[in-house]
Amino acid sequence: MNIEYTVYEFVLIQKLIYYVYTFMIRWFVSWNGVTIMTSEIVEPEIERIKISLAEENLIEQIRNYVVKLLWIVQESQHIVNHLFDQKFEVARTRASKVVEEFKTVRNIRYNLARYVAKVAVSMIGTNYYVSLLDSITVFSNSLYKFILELELLSLRQTTIDESTILSIQSIIKNIGDYLTCLSDTLRYFIENPVKGAEQVSKIFRDGDNIIEMYRGIYLSQSHDLKPNSIHINTLILLLGDIIQDLVNLGEKIVWLYTIRTT
C-alpha cells in the first residue's frame, strides 16, 4: 500500500516545504515592520497549492482503484486456466474468494466518492472526475458478473473447448495490459504529463485491438441451444460487456488528460 502512495507523499513534502517558506516570509515581514500585504500575495497561492494537492491525491486514489481491478482481472485469468485444466473445485474456490474481494472494491469506491464530494467545491473540472468514477463503477460491475459466471461454470463443471478457452485467455491478458496502460497514464498525470501523451495513442490503439479480438471469438461461437453452449455464450457476452466498459473507461481517462493539459 505504501508503494501506491509514493508519488503523493513526494508531492506532499514539496508542498510542505513551500508552506514553511511562505511562513518564514510572513514572519520576516512582520519582524521588520515592512508594510507589505503578504496575505494578498501568499494566500491565493497557498489555496491554489491545496487544490492542486487535492487533485493529485484524487488521481492517485483513482489509480489505486484501477490497480485493484487489475488484480481481479489477473485472478480471472487463473480461474480460466483452472477451468481449462478441468480443476473445477480449485476454480470455484478461487472465484469465490474473488467475489468476496469485491467488498473491498465497494469500500474503495465509497471512500473515493466521499473524497470527491469533499473537494468538489474547490476543484475545477470535478464533473470529469465524477464521470470517470461512474465509468470505473460500471466496469467493476461487469467484471463482477463475469467472475460470478466463472464461478457458476466451475460449479457446473462446464468443459470449454481449447480454441475458445485460448481466445478467452488471450482477451483477458489484453484487458490486463490495457488496465496497466490506464494505470500508467494516471501516474504520468502527476509524474510526467508529457509522457502521458504517448499513452493516449496507445490507449486508442490497444482498445481497437481488443475490440477486434472479441469480434473474432464472438462470431466463431456456436449458437445452438445445448446447455454447455448457452453457458459459454453467456460468458462470452459478459466478456463483451467488460470490453465495452473498459474502452469507455479509457476514453474518459483520455478526456481527463486532455482537460488537464490544455
Question: What pLDDT is recorded for position 5?
Answer: 40
Question: What pLDDT is recorded for position 123?
Answer: 72
The percent of residues in the chain predicted with pLDDT above 70, rounded, is: 76
One-letter amino acid at 203 equals: I
Q: Smallest Cα–Cα separation from 136: which of 63, 209, 203, 190?
A: 63
| Cα 247 from Cα 235, distance rounded (Å) | 19
In the chain, domain spans:
53-261
Residue 46 has pLDDT above 90, yes or no: no
Task: Specify the CATH class of 53-261 in words.
Answer: mainly alpha
Overall average pLDDT of the 72-79 stretch: 96
Residue 224 has pLDDT above 80, yes or no: no
Secondary structure of the chain in HEC code, one letter for each residue: CCHHHHHHHHHHHHHHHHHHHHHHHHHHHHHHCCCCCHHHHHHHHHHHHHHHHHHHHHHHHHHHHHHHHHHHHHHHHHHHHHHHCCCHHHHHHHHHHHHHHHHHHHHHHHHHHHHHHHHCCCCCCHHHHHHHHHHHHHHHHHHHHHHHHHHHHHHCCCCCCHHHHHHHHHHHHHHHHHHHHHHHHHHHHHHCHHHHHHHHHHHHHHHHHHHHHHHHHHHCCCCCCCHHHHHHHHHHHHHHHHHHHHHHHHHHHHHHHHHHHC
Overall average pLDDT of the 172-177 stretch: 96
Binning pLDDT at 50, 70 and 90, where does residue 47 land?
very low
Binning pLDDT at 50, 70 and 90, where does residue 197 land?
confident
Question: What pLDDT is recorded for position 172?
Answer: 96
Tens of pLDDT, residues 91-142: 999 999 999 999 999 999 999 988 888 877 767 777 888 899 999 999 999 9
pLDDT, mean over the chain: 81
Tens of pLDDT, residues 185-194: 998 887 877 7
Question: What pLDDT is recorded for position 22?
Answer: 53
Question: What pLDDT is recorded for position 31?
Answer: 52
| Cα 16 from Cα 209, distance rounded (Å) | 44
Question: What pLDDT is recorded for position 24?
Answer: 56
Residue 35 has pLDDT above 70, yes or no: no
Question: What pLDDT is recorded for position 239?
Answer: 96
| Cα 154 from Cα 160, distance rounded (Å) | 11
Residue 42 has pLDDT above 80, yes or no: no
Binning pLDDT at 50, 70 and 90, where does residue 36 land?
very low
Question: What pLDDT is recorded for position 134?
Answer: 93
CA dist 239 → 70, 105, 139, 213 (Å): 15, 19, 11, 11
